[in-house]
Amino acid sequence: MDGYQASFDKLWGYANVVRFGTQHLSENGTIVLVSGTPARRAKPGQVSLASVGAAIETFVRNVASEIAPRRLNVVSPGFIDTPMVPLKGKEREEFYTKNTATHAIPRAGTAEEVAQGILFLVENDFVTGTTIDVDGGWLLS
């Protein structure tokens, strides 16, 4: 339970960023947060990721109208190949192959692909209160 509760530190951090950071943004400023695909389609063992991700996405949908005309959005990555996964070599390759086999795009994403989603939200002045999925089709599987 301590680990589950601690996973919500991310939400509280985001709430503080929005609460205290918004006042420093110009009227056309934007904030982009990050959740994760488990928020809407968790795999076994991902209950804490799913819970905090869903809370972040709900937070964004509800707070965006309160800080308008500033914009607030969220990017929801799927399995992304980053140094956060400590596995090496064949073991790493097998981990990503196993966990993305049922996805429409059966491979891990890259940090660059997630960054492209974030940049889209920063650059598009007509998007607010929404979630952009960068998940290789995880939600479709």
Q: For residue 101, what pLDDT band results from cuts at 50, 70 and 90?
A: very high
* pLDDT-derived band at 30, boundaries 50, 70, 90: very high
**Residue-range domains of the chain with CATH:** 2-140 (3.40.50.720)
The model's pTM is: 0.91
pLDDT tens, 40-75?
Answer: 988 888 899 899 999 999 999 999 999 999 999 999
Instruction: Tell me the H-state helices in the chain.
Output: 2-6, 9-21, 47-67, 89-100, 111-123
pLDDT category of residue 112 using cuts at 50, 70 and 90: very high
pLDDT band at 4 (very low <50, low <70, confident <90, very high): confident
Cβ atoms of 81 and 108 within 8 Å: the answer is yes
Mean pLDDT of the chain: 94
- How far apart CA 45 and CA 35 sit, in angstroms, is 17
pLDDT at 125: 96
User: Span 1-23, mean pLDDT?
Assistant: 91
CA torsion sign for 103, 107, 108, 110 is negative
Please report the pLDDT score of residue 76 as a whole number.
97
Does the pLDDT of residue 6 top 90, yes or no?
A: no
Q: What is the mean pLDDT of residues 120-131?
A: 97
Residue appearing with tokens 């479709």 = 140
Q: 109 near 135, Cβ under 8 Å?
A: yes
32 close to 76: Cβ distance less than 8 angstroms: no
